Structure formats: C-alpha cells, structure tokens
Amino acid sequence: MIWAIRDGWTITRRDLLHWRKDPGPVLIGLFFPVMLVLMFGYLFGGGMAVPGDGDYREFLVPGVFGMVMVFGIEATFTAVAADASKGVTDRFRSLPMAASAVVTGRAGADLLNSFAGLGVMVACGLVVGWRWHDGVGAALAGLGLLLYLRFALLWVGIWLGLVVKGPEAILALQILVWPIGFLSSAFVGPESMPGWLGTVAAWNPLSASVSAARDLFGNPNWGGTGHDLLLAVAWPTLITAVFLPLSVRRYRRMSR
C-alpha cells in the first residue's frame, strides 16, 4: 500500500509539473466557468424565473459549480488519451511501479485541479452576489458533495482515455457530456421542461449534487426529487464502484 501511494504521488507530481510548464490550458479551464456565470447571470438572468422569486444568480452559481465538476472529465480524458497514444503509458507499464499508480496519480492531479477550479468559482460567486446562508459547515458539506461527483467522474474519464484511441476523440466525448450537463437543474428547474424530459433531468446525477448543494448553501432551489442528498451520495458511489476497477483493469490489460 505504501509503495502504491508513493508511486501514485510521483505520477501526480509529474502531471502538476506539466501544468506548471504549460499553464495555458489550465487557466482556460479555470476561467471558462467564470464566463458562464457572467453570461447566464447578466445576459439571460433577467428572463429566468426562480422558485420563490429568489435571486437567479444565487440559483445559478451552485449549478455552475456542478458544471465545472462535470466538464472536468474532458481534461482527464484528453490527458490520459494523449499519454496512451504517445506511448507514455506503455513506458510506465515497463517500469517497476505499482499497477494502480498511473490511474491514481492522474486522479490525484485532476482532483487538485478541481479544488483550484472550485476555489476560483467560489470567489467569482461572491463577487456577483452569491452567498451561503446556513453556516460554514453546511457550505463545506455542499462543496464536498460537488467534489465527490468530480472524483467519481474522474474514473469515467480515465477509463475512456484508456479505451478510446487518441485525444482527438474529445469531440465525441463533448457530444455526450454537454447534453448531460445541460439536461439538469444547473441552469433551470426541471419542472419548466416537458414532462418526460424534466423527469430525466431531475434524476440526473448532476441535478442531485447541485440540488443538495443548493439546500446546504441555503440558496433558491426547485422542488427536487425528495431524495437529493441521498442521490448526491449514491450516484458518485455507484459510478466510482463501476469505473475505478474498470480503469485499473484496463490499464493492466492494455497490451493484450
């Protein structure tokens, strides 16, 4: 276990060093959601109805927090697929290192990046008027649920990056991820959608995490499913249970 942790930390440091030498993509990833807040909050916010006639920006900001967690899967996929296509992953496999280190190292680096991204978004939210109203403990719990969703989706990105040939397949991933992201309660309540579509959006893992976070922040929220907090824990747990072992297994079998 100690060997695996040390090797995983070595890969995490390697990925962090890459970001330090080429910070452009990281900075773009950090500030893209800021543009979403400004665009939806100020350009479209006047036409948005919020349950209880609340402030739309307080409804919006937790939704963008969740979108940042979901869109992070693209960065994970691109990095893993690029290493695999360039032979870097095969080189790692030839070294005397723990078999789990490559996938856990990437997960560690991307989770640190998600911490930074969420920090930027919290600062942006405070600037545009978002606040939490039920204490620091509840606010940290809400942020923790969002990071747990990101942790779960990391393994989906890692597995896809090891399965798909080449980072150029990112377009296909975006076609899948963006509808899942927008078909949720991130920007509007599902009750405003057609019946069947609203049902799909209500049970979306992103909707569960965002709705539970809104409740913990004390922000305006739609009616919810009645089980949002439970689903915000259950969905990431299920996703992790499926894709973490799949990622490690795929890494071990890459040459077969």
Which pLDDT tens digit goes with each residue over 29-62? Answer: 778 888 888 888 887 766 676 766 678 889 999 9
What is the tens place of the pLDDT at every residue in 117-137? 899 999 999 998 899 998 999
More confident residue, 171 or 105: 105
28 belongs to a structural domain: no
Q: What is the pLDDT of residue 111?
A: 92
189 belongs to a structural domain: yes
Q: How far apart are the first and last CA of the chain?
A: 26
Choose from 43-47, 70-74, 88-92 the range with maximum mean pLDDT: 70-74
For residue 253, give the amino acid letter. R
Domain count for the chain: 1
Task: Check pLDDT > 70 for residue 101.
Answer: yes
* Rounded mean pLDDT, 144-164: 93
Measured from the Cβ of residue 173, the count of other Cβ atoms closer than 10 Å reads 20
Q: What is the pLDDT of residue 66?
A: 93
49 belongs to a structural domain: no
For residue 120, give the amino acid letter. V
Pair 113, 75: CB distance under 8 Å: yes
54 belongs to a structural domain: no
Burial class (CB within 10 angstroms; exposed 0-12, middle 13-18, buried 19+) of 185: buried
More confident residue, 225 or 113: 113
Choose from 62-71, 94-103, 183-192 the range with maximum mean pLDDT: 62-71
Task: Check pLDDT > 70 for residue 255.
Answer: no
38 belongs to a structural domain: no
159 belongs to a structural domain: yes
More confident residue, 220 or 145: 145
More confident residue, 180 or 1: 180
Task: Check pLDDT > 70 for residue 256.
Answer: no
Q: What is the pLDDT of residue 233?
A: 96
53 belongs to a structural domain: no
Q: What is the pLDDT of residue 48?
A: 73
Q: What average pLDDT is seen over the chain?
A: 87
Query: Range with the lowest mean pLDDT among 50-54, 65-69, 194-198, 216-220?
Result: 50-54
How many C-alpha atoms does 166 have within 13 Å on its Cβ side?
Answer: 4
40 belongs to a structural domain: no
Range of the domain at 125: 2-9+61-252
Tokens, residue 182: 């927008």
Q: What is the pLDDT of residue 237?
A: 97
